[in-house]
Each structure stands twice: as structure tokens, then as C-alpha cells.
Amino acid sequence: YLLLHRYALSNISNQHSSILQHQISMAPLNVGIVGATGAVGKEIIGCLEKCCSFPIDSLRLFGSKRSAGRKIDTSKFGNITIELFSEDSARECDVVFLAVDGDFSRAHAENICKGDDGAIVIDNSSAFRYKEGIPLVVPEINAETTKGKKLIANPNCTTAIGLMAVWPLHKLFGLSKMVMSTYQAASGAGQPGMDELMEGTRSVLNGERDVAENKVFAHPLPFNVIPHIDKFQDNGYTKEEMKVTW
């Protein structure tokens, strides 16, 4: 997630991104975050608050009916009321960060960025990672692919972190094969997953339970490793494993 944020911020100031450079040279940007109350949305807000090189005129936060009307206090942008999401409202922004699931992104992302008056969309989900014509970007490696694009995808967190380490080696020696072993964070399941891990850990350490309860995950996660993430694909790999190749 933090790599997404670094991508988003560095991409906006990158010399290769002509659309964004043009907007920034004219005036500060109107920025929107869809999914602002989730774990990723909150992190994006925090990163934008700390970034001085990204000129922001206004920050708009969008959410579901359940979240609309709530207020989020920010140190840089003041007290912001969450708006009920609509494509038309999101299109009023210059740049929109999607901190939502893949189904939501597939339903709305292309409509938000459609046409000359659409917003630039930076999507955090897996929805467009393997779609031809949509750049999948780690800014330190291939930021130039964002040139002229209005919908930009970021890779799986494991992929981004791994590439940052092996890209210099690949440039020097040319890698032909790589074997990765990863331990995925509970945060991959969003706030409910993190809450379940925290509460389960607390209940076991306090002696309230021998084994933590589980609802979000298929098995109790505290003090455990589950060798299976996401759905199995036709090739025998799980979707999480395949994301490394996207």
C-alpha cells in the first residue's frame, strides 16, 4: 500500500507524465479519494498530508451510503465531510485515487476517466493489472509508461517490493528465473482482517481462548501461517501467486 502511495505521489510529479505535468503547471489539483474510510484510503490521506511537492487545491473524500456525511479531520486539509460516491462527482476532480475492491473499480474506473473532461484515475485494486493498454506502474522502474494515460494501475504489493530489489540486478545481469517466497499481511483483507488478527491475538495472549476465532480468514490467523491466499486458478496456482506475474 505504501508503494502505491509513493507511486501516486511520484507519478504526479514525474517528468514523463505529460498530462499531470500540464495540470500541475497550470494550477493546484482537485484530488478525490474513493474509499476514504478504509485502511488504504486513510493511508493515502496521510501521505498527501505529508507531501509538499504535490500541489492540492482541494481534497474530496467519497464513500458509501453508510459513510456519507461522516467527517474526517485532517491536519492539512481541515475537517472534510465524506460525500456519497457518484461517477459524476468523481469526474469533477483532476486526479482520483481508487482505494476500493476490484469489482468496484471495474464498474466505475473507466467511466470516471472517460473523455477529455474525465479525471486521471490511479487504481489500487487488481482490476486492471493485466488489461492491455493500461500501464502497470512502479514509478522507479517504468514511470514513462504513464505518458498520455488517464487510467493507471499499480501492481500487487509483493510484486512492487520484489521488483524494487531485483530490477537493478536485472539491468546488470539479465535475470531469467526468480523464485519468491512471501508472507502476506493480514492488511490484504482490509480493516476487518487487521481487526480480526488484533482481537484474536489479544484473546489468546490474555488466556481468554486457546485458539482465536475466525470469520474473515478461513482459519485462525494469530500465531499461524495459512499456505493459501485467494482462489485457485485453472493452472493450479492461487490468484495471489499469479499476481506476482502481473
Instruction: Over range 42-46, report the average pLDDT.
Output: 94
pLDDT tens sequence across 90-121: 999 999 999 999 999 999 999 999 999 999 99
Q: What is the pLDDT of residue 204?
A: 96
Instruction: Over range 12-36, report the average pLDDT.
Output: 63
pLDDT at 80 over 90: yes
Pick the CATH number of 2-155 from 3.40.50.720, 3.40.50.2300, 3.40.50.1100, 1.10.3720.10: 3.40.50.720
**What does the mean pLDDT of the chain come to?**
87
pLDDT tens sequence across 136-187: 999 899 999 999 999 999 998 888 989 999 999 999 999 999 888 888 888 8
Nearest Cα to Cα of residue 5 among 45, 56, 38, 64 = 45
The Cα–Cα gap between 47 and 152 comes to 18
Instruction: Over range 214-227, report the average pLDDT.
Output: 93
Count of CB atoms situated within 10 Å of the CB of 159: 20
The radius of gyration of the chain from alpha carbons, rounded to an integer in Å, stands at: 19
pLDDT tens sequence across 53-72: 778 999 999 999 999 999 99
Domain spans, the chain? 2-155, 186-228
62 and 89 in contact (C-beta within 8 Å)? yes
Say what the pTM is: 0.75
Nearest Cα to Cα of residue 182 among 155, 162, 153 = 162
Share of the chain above pLDDT 70, in %: 89
pLDDT at 35 over 80: yes
How many Å is the maximal CA-CA distance in the chain? 60
Amino acid, single-letter form, for residue 22: H
- State the pLDDT confidence band at 85, using cuts at 50, 70 and 90: very high
Q: What is the pLDDT of residue 106?
A: 98
Q: What is the pLDDT of residue 26?
A: 52
Q: What is the pLDDT of residue 191?
A: 87
Q: What is the pLDDT of residue 19?
A: 38
188 and 156 in contact (C-beta within 8 Å)? no
56 and 80 in contact (C-beta within 8 Å)? no
Q: What is the pLDDT of residue 24?
A: 45
Q: CA torsion angle for 90, 150, 50, 62 (degrees, to 10)?
A: 20
- State the pLDDT confidence band at 16, using cuts at 50, 70 and 90: very low
Helix axes 2-13, 157-173, angle to 10 degrees: 60
- State the pLDDT confidence band at 48, using cuts at 50, 70 and 90: very high
Cell of 76: 492539512
